[in-house]
Structure 1
Amino acid sequence: MASMTSLTNDLSTAEQITTADPTTTPLAANGWKADTQPVGHDVIIVGGGAGGIGLAASLLRREPALQITIIEPSEKHYYQPAWTLVGVGQFNPDNTVKPTPNLIPATVNWLKHSAIAFDPENNQLTLSDGSVHRYKNLIVAVGLKLDWGGIEGLEETLGSNGVTSNYRFDLAPYTWSLVQKLESGRAIFTQPGMPIKCAGAPQKALYLSCSYWESKGVLSKISVDFDNAGGVLFGVAAFVPALMRYIARYKVNLTVNSNLVAVDGAAGKAWFAVKDGDGQISRVEKSFDFLHVVPPQVPHDVIKASRLGNADGWVEVDQKTLQHVRYPAIFGLGDGCSAPNAKTVAAVRKQIVVVAENLLATRKKLAPVTEYDGYGACPLTVEIGKIVLAEFGYGGKLMPTFPLDPTVPRRSAWILKKSVLPAIYWYLMLKGREWLARPRKV
C-alpha cells in the first residue's frame, strides 16, 4: 500500500518468527558456544516478510550486483490484509499464502534460520544454528509478536467454543463459520492497547460481521459489543464521525478503555479490565456466544534483549531516515521499528524506498537522501461492498491518494482492496516495483 498503496496491513506482513530468545534456544540451554569465525556478508536482512523481501527486490533494482542475505525461518509467506475478508467469506484463504522461496529474489542468499543475538558493536549476529555472521549493513525487518499468552485462558480455547481471531491464517475461516451460524445471542469484538498491526483491523471484523448479519435479517437478534482498550474509536479524528455512524447503524455497544484480560471459552465468559473517568480499574464479566479476539502485540524478545531496541523494545530508528540512531550501518523498517506510524503494509511499502535509497547513500559515505513522512493506510471495511479509505501520515495528517473525500464509504475502495491491492502486493511490492511509493527527497 503506499499512497494508492493502500496495501494495508490490515494485519501487516508475514507472521513468521525471524528472531528467537537466546535464553530459551536448545543451543543456549546446552551451553553451546558460537563459532568464533563469523561468515562475512555484504547486506543482511533479518526478516523475510513484506519489508524484507520487498527491500531486497528494491535494492537489487538499484544495484543488481549487490550481495544480499535474507534470514527467515518460515517456508510460507502470508498476505495478511485479506484475512479480514476471509473472515466474512469474501476472500479465498488459499490466495493469501505463497511459498517463501518463490518470492525471494533469485540472486539473494536465503538462510532458513532465526536470529538469536545481535552484536552491533562488532557488526555481527548469531543464528539459531549457532553460526555467527558479520555484515557491512544490517536491515532489521522482524515485525512484531502476537502475544496470545497475554490473555489468560485464550490459547486453550482459540479455534473452539466460539472464540476466534482474524489475526491468524488458520482461524480466519473459523471466524466465517461462526459468523454464518450465529443467528442470536451475544457477539463480542475486542481491541487491545496500541501499538497493533493496523489499528482499524479489529473494527473491520466487527463491521463486516454486522453487515452480514444485517443482510440475513438476524442483526436485531444479536447483541454486539466492541470493547476497545483505547480511549477513542480510531486514532485519526477525521474518520471517527463516519465510523460512529456505522456503530449506530449496527447498534453496537461501544466501550472504550476496556481491555480483555481473561477468557473461559467452555463457560462462554470473558473478563475485561475497564478504566473509568477517574482512572479506577474494575473487572467486568461478560457472557458471549461469539468472541473475536485481537491479541496484545509486543516487540520480539531478542530485540528487547539487544542494544538495537529502545526502552520499549522496538528497533530504535530515526523516524524520517529509518537509520538506527546509534548504529549507522543498521536500518529498520516495518512493524518492529520505533517510528510512530501506523503499522500497516502501506507504511512498509513506502519505508522500503526510504531504506533502499538511504542505505545505498550511506554506503557511498553520503548523508541520507530520502525521508519517510509516516504514511500509512487502513481501508476500513465498514460494510460488505464499501470502504472508508483512511490514508494518513505522522500526526494524523490526511494523505489521500485520490482527489475524493476520504471519509466517505465507497464501492471503488472495496474493489481496490479486494481485487487490486493483492496484485500490487504480490507482483509489484515484492518485486521491487515502487508504483506510487516514492517518498520525498531530503
Structure 2
Amino acid sequence: MSVLHHQVLIVGAGSAGIATAASLKAREPGLDIALIDPADTHYYQPGWTLVGGGAFDVRATARPMASVIPRGVQWLRAAVRAFEPEADTVVLDDGRRVGYSQLIVCPGLKLDWAAIEGLPESLGEHGVTSNYRFDLAPYTWELVRQLRGGRALFTQPPMPIKCAGAPQKALYLACDHWRRQGLGSAIQARFFNAGGVLFGVPDYVPTLMEYVDKYAIDLQFNHRLVAVDGPGKTATFLRSAADGSVATVIEPFDMLHVVPPQVASDFIRNSPLADTGGWLDVDPASLAHRRFANIHGLGDVINTSNAKTMAAARQQAPVVACNVLAALGMRSSRATYQGYGSCPLTVERGKIVLAEFEYGGRLAPTFPRWLLEGRRPTRLAWWLKAWLLPPFYWHGMLKGREWLAGVRSAEQAPHG
C-alpha cells in the first residue's frame, strides 16, 4: 500500500487542531496540511456549562466538522491506530499509512466514564447527569429546574481534567437557580472533590468561598467517586484521610452531577510519544516533543502543568504554528508558550470570576483591573463568556484570527 505524505499532519480536529491548521494557513497559504479526525461534528464545549445552567442553547454548540475545516486543508476522516515516529509515519485504523515532515498531535483526552462502576448505565436517567457531554447538558438543566427539595451532589475527580473550574460552575449555577426560586433551604448541595483544595490558584479561593457560604454548600475534600447506583440513588466515594487510611462512604442523592476521570486516549498512552503517565511528552515552553524533533503537541493531551482549557489552546496554537514553520525553514524565530490558561468561573447567573493565570499560578489578566477585576465576580466577565466568546471562537480562533493571543518569541520570553 502506498504511503500518503504531507508537509504537516495534524492529529485531532478539536479546538486545538483546527486553530493550529488555521494559524498555519494564515501564515503560509500554500502549506500542504492534512487533518486526521473521524468525528463528523465539531463542538464548542465551553458552552455546555451554560447549557446546564439554562443560559445557552445546546444546538449553538455544535457544527458540522466539514464547516470548520480551514480552506485548503485536507480532512482524513479516520482514527489513528499507531504512531511510527522513527519512520515519520502515522497508521490509520483503516490500514492507510500517512507520512509527514512535521507532525502536530492534539486529539484531546478521554473521558473515562467506565472508570466509575455503574455510571455509564445510569447517565441520563435516575437524576444522574454531567455537563461534560453534549447530550447530557440539557438534562442537567432539566434536573435543576425540577428539583424542589432533597440532596444534590456534585463531584470532581482527581486532576488533571478539562477546565478545573467546570465542576464548580455546575454547582454554583444550580445553587443560584434554587436560591432565586426560594428553594435554598430545601435543597442540600454538597461538593465532593477528590483533591484537597477548592481551586488550584489561591488568589481566587476567597471569592469562591464567599459563594460557598452564600449557597450553604457542604464541601467535602479528598472524596473520590468510585460507583453509582442510579436506580438506588446512591453514590459511593473513597475518602482519604491525612494518615493515609481510606474509608468507603455511601451518599444518597436526588440529583447527581458527575465529572468523570480523564486520561489520555489509548492510542496516545500506548505509543512511543507518551510519558510515564500516558500523556504526550512535550517541552512546556516550545511545545515540541522531548524526543522527536519534528513532532509538536498542544491542547488537552499534553503533559504540561497549565489548565486544560480552550483558552490555553488558543494561546498554544500560534506558538506551535510558528515553531513548526521554523522547523520547516519558513521562519527564522521560534515562539514560547508561558502556560496561559483561563477559567471563567460562573458563580451565579449574570456574574463570572474571570480567572487567568500562567505557569506557577502567576496571574495573567488580559484586561486592566479598572476595566475588569478578575478576582471578583463581574457582569462584564459574564457578557464576555456568554455573548462575545462564542462568535470569537467560531469566527476568530477557528479562522486563524489570533485576537488577544500575541505570540512571544523565545528571545522575548522571561525566564523562571
- TM-score, with structure 2 as normaliser: 0.97
The answer for the alignment partner of 1:205 in structure 2 is 170
Structure 1 counterpart of 2:259: 294
Looking at structure 1, the residues matched to 325 and 187 of structure 2 have their Cα atoms a distance apart, in angstroms, of 56
- Structure 2 counterpart of 1:401: 366
1:164-211 residue CA offsets vs partner (Å, 9 max, x unmatched):
000000000000000000010000000000000000000000000000
Amino acid at match of 1:192: P
The reply to whether residue 175 of structure 1 matches residue 143 of structure 2 is no
Does residue 1:51 correspond to 2:16, yes or no? yes
Residues in 2 aligned to 1:262 and 1:357: alpha-carbon distance in whole angstroms: 45
Structure 1 residues 8-407: aligned runs within 5 Å? 35=1, 37-364=2-329, 369-404=334-369, 405-407=373-375
* Contact in 2 for aligned 1:116/1:126 (Cα 8 Å): yes
Gaps of 5+ in 1: 1-34
Amino acid at match of 2:400: G
Aligned match of 2:413: none
The answer as to 2:394 corresponding to 1:436 is no
Larger relative contact order (C-alpha < 8 A, sep ≥ 6)?
Answer: 1
Instruction: Tell me if 1:420 matches 2:388.
Output: yes
Mean CA deviation greater in 357-366 or 62-71: 357-366
Find the aligned partners of 1:346 and 1:99 in 2 and give their Cα distance: 22
1:439 Cα deviation after fit: 3.1
Tell me if the contact between 1:321 and 1:368 (Cα under 8 Å) persists in the aligned partners.
Answer: no
Cα deviation for residue 38 of structure 1 reads 1.5
Which residue type is aligned with residue 23 of structure 2?
Answer: S
Question: Residues 227-271 of structure 1, C-alpha deviation per residue, up to 9 Å, x if partnerless?
Answer: 000110000000001001101110001011111000001000000
Q: State the one-letter code of the partner of 1:424.
A: F
Query: Residues of 2 paired with 1:132 and 1:228: CA distance?
Result: 43
How many residues of Structure 1 are paired with residues of Structure 2 in the alignment?
A: 407
The alpha-carbon deviation at position 145 of structure 1 amounts to 0.1
**Residues 356 and 364 of structure 2 are in contact (CA less than 8 Å); yes or no, is this contact kept in structure 1?**
yes
Q: What is the CA–CA distance in structure 2 between the aligned matches of 1:415 and 1:424, rounded to whole Å?
A: 13
Match of 1:411 in 2: 379
Q: 2:322·2:331 contact (CA, 8 Å) conserved in 1? A: no
Q: What per-residue deviation string (whole Å, max 9, x for no partner) do you get for residues 6-59 of structure 1? A: xxxxxxxxxxxxxxxxxxxxxxxxxxxxx3x32122110000001111111110
Give the whole-Å Cα distance in 2 for the aligned partners of 1:278 and 1:82: 40
One-letter identity of the residue aligned with 1:413:
A
Which runs of 4 or more aligned residues in structure 1 lie more than 3 Å from their structure 2 counterparts after TM superposition? 365-368
What SS does the corresponding residue of 1:80 show, helix, strand or coil?
coil
* Deviation of 1:106 (Å): 2.0
Q: Secondary structure at the match of 1:118?
A: strand
Instruction: Give the equivalent residue in structure 2 for 1:3.
Output: none
Partners of 2:408 and 2:33 in 1: CA distance: 26
Is the Cα contact below 8 Å between 2:37 and 2:78 reproduced in 1?
yes
Contact 1:75 1:100 in 2 (8 A): yes
2:360 is paired with a residue of what secondary structure?
A: helix
SS of equivalent residue, structure 1 residue 219: coil
**Cα distance in structure 2, aligned partners of 1:306 and 1:277:** 36
CA contact (8 A) 1:41 1:67 kept: yes
Task: Give the drift of 1:365.
Answer: 8.3
Distance in 2 (CA, whole Å) between partners of 1:279 and 1:198 is 28
Distance 2:198 2:342 in 1: 16
Question: Deviation string for 1:120-157 (max 9, x for gaps)?
Answer: 00000100111011111100011100000000000011
1:349 CA drift (Å): 0.3
Percent identical among aligned pairs is 55
Cα offset for 1:368? 5.9
1:441 is displaced (CA, Å) by 1.2
Kindly indicate whether the alpha-carbon contact (under 8 Å) linking 1:164 and 1:291 is maintained by their aligned counterparts in 2. Answer: yes
Report the RMSD for the aligned CA atoms in angstroms: 1.0
Q: Is the 8 A contact 2:49 2:170 kept in 1?
A: yes
User: Is there any run of 5+ residues in structure 2 with no aligned partner, and where?
Assistant: 411-416
8 Å CA contact retained: 1:373, 1:439: no
Determine the structure 2 residue equivalent to 1:30: none
